[in-house]
Amino acid sequence: MLTLYHAPNSRSSRILRLLDEMDIRDRVEVRVVDIPRRDGSGGADPANPHPEGKVPLLVHDGVEIRESNAIILYLTDLFPQAGFAPVVGDPDRGRYLSWLAYYGNVVEPVLVIGFSGLTHPVFDVTFRGMAEVTARLTEALEANPYLMGDRFTAADLLLVSPFNWMPDGVPDVPVIRDWVARCDARESLARTAAWDAELAKVEA
């Protein structure tokens, strides 16, 4: 049994979008839980088994999988027939894994540090900065419409997600702006927003 612990309009919304893109919504039970929000609303939810009270959390037959990139990797490996990521043995597998890791190890820390207004040489050396993130995305997207080539994959879904929350943070580079627009034009984004709205009613 697969269960996703989810808070509407949060980081776990990208996992809802993944379920939609992979056409596996009927294979995963979604349980709505509360989380502390930046605006002071929400709070710890005893119904959420995540050890830090966060989302997303995927539970598969009693085994907990945390962190968005790990959950994305787990689900795309569990359902390879969805064709949403390169499988083991595919020459593009390493590039796909690198993008998933890059998001968690570099992109999100850079964005959070920048959003908070913090600055420190250790941050710059460890995580690089938005200039480097912009350069990596530009290099990938100058040659192809998506990070993995001609098709939208789970790597795009993950890497584009922060720009859905913070559209003002999209780098002012044409190939990146075009990529964000292509990703956002997919029907899964609108369907996920509608699904989240329904789940928010459950939370309320």
Separation of alpha carbons 82 and 71, rounded Å? 15
- Long-range contacts (CB closer than 8 Å, 24 or more residues apart) made by 45-50: 48/5, 49/5, 50/5
Tell me the pLDDT of the chain (204 aa) as tens digits. 999 999 999 999 999 999 999 999 999 999 999 998 877 787 888 999 999 999 999 999 999 999 999 999 999 999 999 999 999 999 999 999 999 999 999 999 999 998 888 888 898 888 889 999 999 999 999 999 999 999 999 999 999 999 998 899 999 999 999 999 999 999 999 999 999 999 998 765
Report pTM: 0.94
- CA 145-15-1 angle, to 5 degrees, is 135
List beta partners, residue 58: 4, 65
Domains and CATH numbers, the chain: 2-84+188-203 (3.40.30.10), 93-186 (1.20.1050.10)
